[in-house]
Amino acid sequence: MSIILGCIADDLTGATDLAMILVREGMKTVQVVGEPNADTPAPNAEAVVVALKSRTNNAQEAISMTISSCKWLQSHGAKQIFFKYCSTFDSTDQGNIGPVTDALMKHLECASTIACPAFPENGRTVYHGYLFVNHGLLSESSLRNHPLTPMRDSNIKRILSAQSSSKVSNLYFEQIEKGHEVIAQAVAEKETGQPIIHITDALNDNHLRSIGKACKDMKLVTGGSAVAQGLPLNFEEQGLLRSRTKAQSFFAPVGASVILSGSCSEATRSQVSYAQNHIPSYCLDAVAILKGEPVANEAINWATKYIDTATPVLLYSSADPSVVEQIQNNQNQIDVGSRVEAVIGEIAQKLHALGANRFVVAGGETSGAVINALAVKTMSIGPQIDPGVPWTSTIINEKPIALALKSGNFGTDDFFIKALNQLTQYEITK
């Protein structure tokens, strides 16, 4: 089976989010972790999502990882490339959404693409170029205090123009409402041969499906996961999809469950508080991590007795914005984050060696660190836990690991416990 849609996501949770939407829309989808290379087996799938950890790298690194992933996807037949970034446009003045989009347009020799972060099912909408999170502007949401990419502006054109050398233009919802032909025509009218990125408003899934349809002939589409929901129909109409089967088989290994939370987002902090009332929990002290104290070893010692009895546990470094600010204490926030991530990755690896084989991880960067530490290479997509978050399973590992990678701001308060409970119906009994 040759790949039809090749996707590149800038973080792990974003990749599973996108993969789940494509599965829901009937594409056989596999997730590949990290930059694929000549030794990476071609997945037997219609859509492949390459999950990078490039959101907070420097722009040149992010470009290099993305372009090499894109070349690999093309070499396996990808007819269209989708660049997935966060529905809250998580990025800095330097990138990486703009530079990576520019580089992909150049590589794919296309003069225009769209940028559409909207994800209405999770409360993200774009109206007249402004990104809303639930009922308020992005810049007034808790994302303004993100530890790595604080979002202090809501105007996507302004944010993207600062990062990109392409022309950036808006397609407002009055045009989007008129449907795919008007959208395609509006895009075509603005083409001058110079690279241009059209920021498309979207308030609901109908808008996103119209936008998807209008992108039928674009070599590159960029956005949050939800705009990808309109793409599979194009492939079906072109006779490229075998059958739009919506369910992929999923089995959970029986064993010990570990919840690891490095996300400091508002939703995650509520989920941590909720889970603390239900299962044993352990706080990973970020100050001690930065001092080089043996935080991972102490946490592993604490968790061992629970792993032995298959009692689920929660280990978290999640903290309020004011605490995070004190911890960062004018140090480089990406370095601080990486050091916390390294400890969480080490804990995952050692607890897996002790027998844990079900992991719920909160946080995109944190998930990247855990997946790398567990040496996961390919993942299949299972059932949805909450919008944007599925259960997944490793494919190649000898003994499968069940993984739920949760974006910081996704999920209900009881997410962690709900995710673990859900697994009981998918257990492999032999």
For ligand ADP, the closer of residues 34 and 408 by Cβ is 408
The residue within the footprint of ligand LB5GJZVW, chosen from 51, 407, 417, 419 (CB under 6 A), is 407
Give the total of residues touching ligand LB5GJZVW (CB under 6 A).
17
Q: Which amino acid is at 64?
A: S
Cβ atoms of 99 and 63 within 8 Å: the answer is: yes
Pick the stretch among 8-16, 22-30, 189-197, 391-399 that binds ligand LB5GJZVW (CB under 6 A): 8-16
Rounded to the nearest whole angstrom, what is the least distance from the CB of residue 265 to ligand ADP in the complex? 4
Query: Which stretch in 84-92, 173-181, 210-218, 241-249 sits in contact with ligand LB5GJZVW by CB under 6 A?
Result: 84-92
Cα–Cα distance, 249 to 140 (Å, whole number) = 41
Which of 204, 304 has the CB closer to ligand LB5GJZVW? 204
Q: Pick one of 7, 17, 27, 336: the residue that binds ligand LB5GJZVW (CB under 6 A).
A: 17
223 binds, among ligand LB5GJZVW, ligand ADP, none (CB under 5 to 8 A by kind): none
Q: What is the largest CA-CA distance in the chain?
A: 65
Interior/surface letters 196-227, b for 16+ CB within 10 angstroms, e for the rest = bbbbbbbbebebbbbbbbbbbebbbbbbbbbb
- Binding range to ligand LB5GJZVW, per CB under 6 A, among 80-88, 164-172, 288-296, 320-328: 80-88
Please report how close the Cβ of residue 77 comes to ligand LB5GJZVW at its closest, in angstroms: 25
Note whether 243 and 263 are within 8 A (CB). no
Positions in 377-396 near ligand LB5GJZVW (CB under 6 A): 388
Q: What residues between 222 and 251 interact with ligand LB5GJZVW by CB under 6 A?
A: 224-225
The residues, ordered by sequence, that sit 6+ positions from 137 with a Cβ below 8 Å of its Cβ are: 130, 131, 154
Q: Comparing C-alpha atoms, which of 303, 293, 285 is closest to residue 351?
A: 303
Distance CA 187, CA 178 (A): 13
Q: Where does this chain bind ligand ADP (CB under 6 A)? A: 146-148, 262-265, 268, 286, 317-319, 324, 327-328, 336-337, 340-341, 363-366, 407-408
Nearest to 279 by CA among 208, 358, 337: 358
Angle between helices 415-423 and 266-276 (to 10 degrees): 60
What is the SS3 string spanning 98-150? HHHHHHHHHHHCCCEEEEECCEHHHCEEEECCEEEECCEEHHHCHHHHCCCCC
Kindly tell me which of 66 and 407 has the beta carbon lying closer to ligand LB5GJZVW: 407
> Measured from the CB atom, is 151 or 303 closer to ligand LB5GJZVW?
151
Give min distance, CB of 265 to ligand LB5GJZVW, in A: 6
User: Is the dihedral angle over the CA atoms 329, 331, 333, 339 positive or is it negative?
Assistant: negative
- Give the separation between CA 224 and CA 226, rounded to whole angstroms: 6
Show Cβ contacts of residue 321 under 8 Å, excluding neighbours closer than 6 positions: 142, 145, 147, 264
Nearer to ligand LB5GJZVW, 98 or 195 (CB): 98
Please report whether residue 86 would count as binding ligand LB5GJZVW according to CB under 6 A: yes
Q: How far is the CB of 86 from ligand LB5GJZVW (least distance, A)?
A: 4
Contact residues toward ligand LB5GJZVW (CB under 6 A) are: 11, 13-14, 17, 86-88, 90, 119, 224-225, 363-364, 388, 407-409
